[in-house]
């Protein structure tokens, strides 16, 4: 039981660490303000749900973020930006799946 609890705590720390990086990198990686605002809104909704412990809605928001990110790949999101942000999103998704 203790191992399971430790694993969940580690996953929460992984998500929190990824959130800090997301916030600082996003404006540098998205070159269109409307897309930036839309992606930021999804991250804000994710953060709100995550902090409340509502992991299923949080997972839905980060998946919506990843979907929009993929749709903007090569348009308003450079390949480098896409790769970096997608890796962060994937890390969060993997960690959240471990909390559900």
Q: What's the token pair of residue 33?
A: 């303000």
pTM of the full predicted structure?
0.79
Alpha-carbon span 66 to 69, nearest angstrom:
5
Predicted pLDDT at 18 = 57
Alpha-carbon span 50 to 82, nearest angstrom:
23
3-class state of residue 77 by DSSP: strand
Q: What's the token pair of residue 97?
A: 């799946």
How many domains are there within the chain?
Answer: 1
Burial group, residue 57, by CB count within 10 angstroms (0-12, 13-18, 19+)? middle
CATH of the domain at 61: 1.20.1440
pLDDT digits (tens, 9 = 90+) for 48-83: 898 888 989 999 999 999 999 999 999 998 898 899
Domain of 91 in residue numbering reads as 2-99
């Amino acid at each position: 039981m203790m191992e399971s609890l430790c694993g969940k705590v580690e996953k929460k720390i992984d998500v929190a660490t990824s959130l800090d990086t997301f916030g600082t990198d996003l404006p540098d990686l998205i070159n269109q303000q409307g897309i930036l605002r839309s992606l930021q809104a999804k991250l804000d909704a994710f953060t709100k749900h995550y902090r409340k412990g509502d992991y299923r809605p949080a997972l839905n928001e980060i998946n919506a973020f990843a979907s929009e990110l993929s749709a903007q790949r090569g348009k308003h999101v450079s390949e480098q930006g896409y790769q970096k942000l997608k890796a962060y999103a994937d890390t969060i998704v993997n960690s959240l799946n471990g909390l559900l």
